[in-house]
Structure 1
Amino acid sequence: MIELLTPAQLDEMRPAGRFVASVLAALSEKAAVGVDLLDLDALAHDMIRDAGAESCYIDYHPSFGAMPFGKVLCTSVNDAVLHGLPHRYKLRDGDLVSLDFAASLNGWVCDSAVSVVVGTPREEDVRLIDNAQEALDAAIAVARPGNRVGDISAAIGAVGRSHGLKINTQFGGHGVGRTMHGDPHIANDGRAGRGLPLKPGLVIAIEPWFLHTTDEIRMDEDGWTIRSADGSRGAHVEHTIAITEGDPIIMTARD
């Protein structure tokens, strides 16, 4: 079911967005050579507890998951791009890591992701992150009344293809509100002018993710972590936004 929120409800959701943004900012600063992925998860867990929030991940068990997720943060490193299950691994110089985090505060959910390079960056990794951010910015720019979900998907796909990237459409954006995942699904490529009309009060998470040289993916042995099929690295960025009568509101803005 798709729910359109009132302006008052959007105001109620803002603290959840600010909280998610603050956690990702702290995690991005903490991520460094020698830091363990489990330490990042523990930091997010502490911040959830201190804020009186609730994790959207720890008991999450969709049909594609092998078991309840069991952690509060997704940490996807190098050739992993989505749903990375935190495990005992110390970050190394040059690692590309995606940090994906969603939480509920006061009954409202926001969801966001950022990709960072730890230590000495590789030029191609920085470029891939920039490509994903460019796609996210382009998608947010068309998230206005009168447009459709297909316009968001088409904007993401156009940016990806302009940089010579192939686009996977199996996992993408989604509705957000009282729960983490809802309708509509927002693929990372599509046809403009198609799909659900965008109306004020619609809240969605837009999440472009790109791989260097493939659009094929495989599931890791942990039953959660999604990796590129050819070992190439991936970047993933995401914001929760609200459609309004004018400019969209970026609920999870980190600046």
Structure 2
Amino acid sequence: MVFGALRGIELKTPDQLRQMRRAGLVVAAAIAATVAQVRPGVSTRELDAVAAETIRAAGAAPSFLGYGSVNGVGGFDGVACLSVNEEVVHGVPGARVLAEGDLLSIDCGAVVEGWHGDSAVTVAVGRPTEDLLALSDATRAAMWRGIGAARLGGHVADISTAVERSVREHPGGYGIVEEYVGHGIGSAMHQPPDVPNLVSRGFLRTPLRGAAIVEGLALAVEPMLTLGSPDNHVLDDDWTVVTDDGRPAAHWEHTITVTARGLWVLTAEDGGEAALAELGVPFGPLAD
């Protein structure tokens, strides 16, 4: 690996990006397997076991399990972050049982040969209300608008601007969670630069946050929207982030890179080809 002109930003070689694609496909498979088991009456711990088994069967390792531990003690107690309704992100798998009409975020990471992939989806449990479906759809649309704005020679701020514009143009009037953002990714799960979901003057003045998009850079783009206020706090488990007003949230995420040919979504089964085509954005995977 090499590091870019801005200190701490890791640029990957083509072979390293291919390893990240392998990790991304494991993540896609783990999320798909977990989604297939979502139903009223299942616990988040049971769903976590599905993700764990899928990752192990692929010969990969979970990125989240034990994350944040000190000398192997403590850390996140799960393979996936499973966040229900008012839980914005980092929900710890446990005894919580899904009910008809819930909204569930499944956020999962895997590592292959030292290289990470990270993705999240939001799914409905049974038949949720139309406002919850619309919230999830708006979050997914904002993610793809942000991804579609990434260009070689552009800046991370272009992604943030596109995410925010997508949300602000939506008639739903959703809250944008500011404290939790996308990020660089590669040999570690979380790296510089940050990828915020809205733009501020401070962001544009910060070199790492306004980093240039160049070949070899990999980013996780992950908007989180709320049906009410975006204000939030962390529960006593030191992980689960919930909305202050108790209203639902949604979360979507993909890991991407930009090649000389176009965009490559490392955690999408088809590499992002179909969604990028809808946006009129070039699809640019590396050759095998």
TM-score by structure 2 length? 0.84
Query: Is 1:30 the counterpart of 2:23 in the alignment?
Result: no
Residue pairs, 1:17-96, within 5 angstroms: 17-61=24-68, 67-96=74-103
Q: What is the identity percentage for the equivalent residue pairs of Structure 1 and Structure 2?
A: 40
Output aligned runs, 1:1-255, within 5 Å.
1-61=8-68, 67-163=74-170, 164-190=173-199, 194=204, 195-255=210-270
What SS is found at the alignment partner of 1:136?
helix
Unaligned runs of 5+ in 2: 1-7, 205-209, 271-288
Residue identity opposite 1:206 in structure 2 = V
Unaligned 5+ segments in structure 1 are: none
Larger relative contact order (Cα-Cα within 8 Å, sequence gap ≥ 6): 1
Distance 2:186 2:17 in 1: 10
Query: Secondary structure in 2 aligned to 1:28?
Result: helix
Deviations 1:157-210 (A, max 9, x none): 111122222322211100110110001011110159941111011001000110
TM-aligned CA deviation for residue 13 of structure 1: 2.0
Q: Is residue 44–residue 95 contact of structure 2 (8 Å, CA) maintained in 1?
A: yes
Do 1:165 and 1:213's aligned partners in 2 also have CA atoms closer than 8 Å?
yes
Counterpart secondary structure, 1:100: strand
- C-alpha RMSD over aligned residues: 1.8
The answer on whether the counterparts of 2:29 and 2:54 sit within 8 Å (CA) in structure 1 is: no
**AA at the equivalent of 1:180:** M
Q: Once structures 1 and 2 are overlaid, which stretch shifts more, 69-78 or 191-200?
A: 191-200
TM-superposition CA deviations, 1:10-58 (whole Å, max 9, x none): 2222111111001101111111111111111111111222222112111
Pick which of 235-244 and 184-193 moved more: 184-193
Deviation at 1:239, TM superposition (A): 0.2
Distance 1:83 1:62 in 2: 15
* 240-249 vs 230-239, which moves further: 240-249
